[in-house]
Amino acid sequence: MLLRIDTTSEESLFEQVATAVRTAIAQGEARAGDRLPSARELADSLGVNVHTVLHAYQGLREEGLIDLRRGRGAVVTEVGDAIAQLNRDIVELGKRAKALGMSPATVVALVKASL
Determine how many CB atoms are found less than 10 A away from the CB of residue 11.
Answer: 10
For 50, phi then psi, to 5°, come to: -55, -40
Residues near 7 by beta carbon (within 8 Å), at least 6 away in sequence: 13
Per rule CB under 8 A, is residue 64 in the interface with a copy of itself?
Answer: yes
**Mask for 76-115, x = binds DNA (CB under 7 A):** ----------------------------------------
Task: Tell me the CB-side half-sphere exposure of residue 62, using CA atoms within 13 A.
Answer: 7
Q: Which residues bind a copy of itself (CB under 8 A)?
A: 18-19, 22-23, 26, 62-65, 78-79, 82-83, 85-87, 89-91, 93-94, 96-98, 100-115
The site for DNA (CB under 7 A) is made up of: 12-15, 38-41, 48-52, 54-55, 57-58, 68-74
